[in-house]
Amino acid sequence: MRWFRERVPGFADCHLTAVADRVGVRESRRVLGVQGGAVFADAIGCGAFPIDVHAADTPTLSHTDSVGAGYEIPLGALLVPDVPNLLVAGRCLSSDHEANGSLRITATCFVTGEAAGVAAAQAAAKAVDPGELDVRYVRDRLAERGARIRLPRGNAAGEAGRGVPPGHRG
């Protein structure tokens, strides 16, 4: 704390209020989504990080199981059934354990966070629930900002139906 107080502007009076009871928590709660499958008409971004899980209950799943295969992320994975006007992003979006091993990576969290923000802004402007949005508008706004929405042609997962990591519920 002393380092922050002495070197970081605005932290002169900072103090520690709590410390996590566990180190390196990679996975916690996730939403139960509204879609299932591997091909998504409502894709809002892509991810490509390999599945990275460290769990005793999936000893046959390794870090390299999906190397080279990208996947699309649907807007539906950010929606929460039975909770109107709520979007989620990052590691709590709709997925199962294995898919979460790729989706929880920072770069993919940026993708889903930006998409959730764009969708929230559009939903507020139109006074509708995010689930009622025209995904084309969301994709257009994301593309204007430089986001990659679809997998490039020739990608292994893209040629096999633009899938997501095995078990993705989104």
Mutual angle of helices 106-126 and 135-144, in 10-degree steps: 120
Nearest alpha-carbon partner for 39 in 144, 167, 158:
158
**139 sits in which H/E element:** helix 135-144
Provide the pLDDT for residue 163. Answer: 39
pLDDT of residue 99: 75
Q: Per-10-residue mean pLDDT for the chain, 170 residues long?
A: 92 87 66 60 84 64 57 89 91 79 86 97 97 94 90 52 40
pLDDT value for 158:
41
The answer to whether 170 touches 73, Cβ cutoff 8 Å, is: yes
- The one-letter amino acid code at 103 reads L
Backbone angles phi, psi at 24, to 5 degrees: 70, 35
CB atoms within 10 A of CB 100: 25
How far is the C-alpha of 147 from the C-alpha of 9, rounded, in Å? Answer: 33
How big is the CA angle at 47 (ends 69 and 140), to the nearest 5 degrees?
A: 125
pLDDT score at 27: 64
Looking at residue 41, its pLDDT comes to 82
Tell me, what amino acid is at 110? F
Q: Are 132 and 125 in contact (CB under 8 A)?
A: no
Residue with tokens 């006074």: 127
| pTM for the whole structure | 0.69
Q: How much is the pLDDT for 24?
A: 63
Domains of the chain, residue spans: 25-159
